[in-house]
């Protein structure tokens, strides 16, 4: 998001925090905000009407209340009405904001259950499983594969193996892709979960598992370098020949032996 939308999203997240602190049920809030996201995606005219900067805020709030009054919890209606009064650079940004608030509400469920680390790890691991299985990726990403069959497939794969918040987010990502790939949705959801604790995600590729001590030292070094806590997602990668490769905040820190060999070959060839 850019410009006005970025500022509006920041304010909307603050309003979400206030609503949750006021006693709203985060699970219901997340489900209903995901439903609102689907409604906005399916009805471009509604999306434009609620995000139209020339339309009075009172009229947009009235429209939201007319559509959702009595159908969703008061907390959900309050948040959607608030979104309608903010300024959005593009109508699609309104839908994206509703989705992000939905994800953060589900993340709050995991936080209250003491399972936020678990949620981040499970989203990452499932993304890796999907990327490694072309058939599974095709089934869960295809717009022609029925939603109920996707849900059934996910139930068979994950039921009893992941937390309920993870199942909720994975199902949302697979069934309602919003023109994104499944792994892109999972990555975005994981980043929002990390944002909940104001920390960064680092994808670490190694040849052999790190010890707890090594993980701690690496996380501490990255936190010192980037000024924020860091959550490590460890990938055992056969292409890594010694050392470690870290992707964090859009940067690649490659300290593997393979990268050094490649660098040497480039210098010899020049």
pLDDT digits (tens, 9 = 90+) for 192-222: 998 877 778 888 999 888 899 999 999 898 8
Same domain, yes or no: 99 and 144: no
The confidence band for 250, taking pLDDT boundaries of 50, 70 and 90, is confident
Domain residues for the domain of 156 are 116-195
Give me the mean pLDDT over the 227-232 stretch: 86
**pLDDT tens, position by position, 147-174:** 999 999 999 999 999 999 999 999 999 9
The percent of residues in the chain predicted with pLDDT above 90, rounded, is 64
Q: What is the pTM of this model?
A: 0.79
pLDDT at 104: 97
101 and 12 in a single domain? The answer is yes
> Given this model, what pLDDT does residue 79 score?
97
Question: Among 162, 177, 195, where does a domain finish?
Answer: 195
Same domain, yes or no, for 138 and 224? no
Q: How far is CA 194 from CA 108, 136, 201, 229, 236, in A?
A: 12, 26, 7, 9, 22
Number of folded domains that form the chain: 3
Tell me the C-alpha distance between 205 and 8, whole Å.
Answer: 36
Query: Which range, of 73-82, 97-106, 179-188, 195-204, averages the lowest pLDDT?
Result: 195-204
CATH assignment of the domain containing 227: 3.40.30
Eight-class DSSP state of 64? H
**Domain termination site, one of 81, 112, 143:** 112
First to last CA, the chain: 42
DSSP 174-186: HH--TTS-HHHHH
Which residues on neighbouring strands pair with residue 201, listed in sequence order? 231
pLDDT-derived band at 270 (thresholds 50, 70, 90) equals low
Supply 239's token pair.
């292409």
**Closest-CA residue to 131 (of 235, 240, 241):** 235
């Amino acid at each position: 998001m850019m410009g006005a939308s970025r500022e509006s999203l920041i304010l909307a997240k603050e309003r979400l925090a206030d609503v949750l602190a006021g006693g709203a049920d985060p699970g219901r809030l997340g489900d209903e905000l995901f439903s609102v996201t689907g409604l906005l995606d399916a009805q471009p005219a509604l999306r434009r009407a609620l995000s139209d900067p020339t339309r009075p805020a009172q009229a947009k709030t009235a429209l939201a209340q007319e559509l959702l009054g009595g159908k969703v919890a008061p907390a959900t209606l309050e948040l959607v009405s608030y979104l309608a009064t903010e300024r959005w650079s593009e109508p699609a940004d309104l839908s994206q904001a509703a989705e992000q608030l939905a994800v953060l509400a589900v993340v709050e469920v995991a936080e209250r259950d003491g399972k936020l680390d678990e949620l981040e790890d499970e989203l990452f691991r499932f993304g890796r499983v999907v990327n490694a299985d072309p058939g599974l990726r095709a089934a869960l990403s295809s717009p022609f594969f029925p939603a109920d069959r996707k849900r059934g497939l996910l139930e068979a794969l994950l039921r009893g193996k992941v937390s309920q918040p993870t199942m909720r987010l994975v199902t949302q990502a697979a069934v309602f892709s919003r023109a994104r790939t499944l792994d892109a949705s999972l990555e975005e959801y994981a980043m929002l979960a990390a944002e909940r604790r104001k920390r960064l995600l680092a994808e670490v590729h190694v040849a052999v598992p790190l010890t707890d001590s090594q993980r701690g030292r690496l996380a501490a070094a990255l936190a010192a370098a980037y000024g924020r806590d860091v959550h490590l997602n460890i990938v055992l990668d056969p292409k890594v020949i010694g050392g470690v490769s870290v992707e964090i905040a859009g940067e690649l820190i490659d300290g593997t032996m393979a990268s050094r060999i490649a660098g040497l070959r480039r210098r010899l060839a020049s």
